[in-house]
Amino acid sequence: TLERDRISIHRERDALQNELSTLPIKHQNQRAQIERILASMGQELVESEAKRRLIISAPEAGTATAVIAEVGQALDTSKPLVSIVPEGAKLQAHLYAPSKAVGFIKAGDTVRLRYQAYPYQKFGHHQSTVLYVSKTALPNNELPTMMGSLSGTGAGSEPLYLITVTPTQQSIKAYGKPQSLQAGMLLEADVLQESRRLYEWVLEPLYSLSGKL
């Protein structure tokens, strides 16, 4: 019995010695594992911070206009967040017209603009020139988002053609002071195509009728 106890004690002692000898290795492995976890967490923090504070540089100096995003708003990657007008750039107006209105419009035609921000009853019309008329109509899903709020441009309406015009002046005079035009302003327009005497306009239906016979 004493011999068995002695052998058992020796085995326990050897086991403890083996365990003691492996403690430094286990400690080193555990420490390495903890360091790897900390490094991974640190990398995730760096990436998270980079995503939270992403900086996009403009290709050139200018003025930010038409900012449509707000803090906390969910973003759609297919839609622009802001428009930038380069320094010294001249604004152009985009007009949208149905097919029945673009048949005789061409580059060089005179256009009278009415800015919603400056009612024409008080500030008058403002001259511009047609620069370009699109050859194909734009489907509704390619129109600017603000067009959906305008009469006749919602779902189910006919496709529209893009007409690009250049205002003669980049500002208007309001209350004795020049007011610069801003990108994103809404407007309406009249295209002046030809001059006729009053009776010619009155007799237009007769002229058209005789032309078809």
pLDDT digits (tens, 9 = 90+) for 12-51: 777 777 776 777 777 777 777 777 888 888 888 787 777 7
pLDDT digits (tens, 9 = 90+) for 129-188: 999 999 988 877 777 765 655 555 554 567 889 999 999 998 999 888 999 888 778 889
Contacts of 27 by beta carbon, 8 Å cutoff, 6+ apart:
none
pLDDT digits (tens, 9 = 90+) for 85-120: 777 778 889 998 888 888 888 999 999 999 999 999
Rounded to two decimals, what is the model's pTM? 0.56
Query: What sign does the CA torsion over 114, 116, 119, 123 have?
Result: negative
Tokens of 74: 């969910």
For residue 117, which phi and psi values (nearest 5 degrees)? -70, -20
Give the pairing of strands 187-192 and 110-115.
antiparallel
Alpha helix locations (H) across the chain? 2-52, 99-102, 120-123, 198-202, 204-212
CATH code of the domain occupying 93-147+158-195: 2.40.30
For residue 213, pLDDT beyond 50: no
Contact 147, 96 (CB under 8 A): yes
pLDDT band at 211 (very low <50, low <70, confident <90, very high): very low
Q: Which of 103, 101, 105, 110 is nearest to 129 (CA)?
A: 110
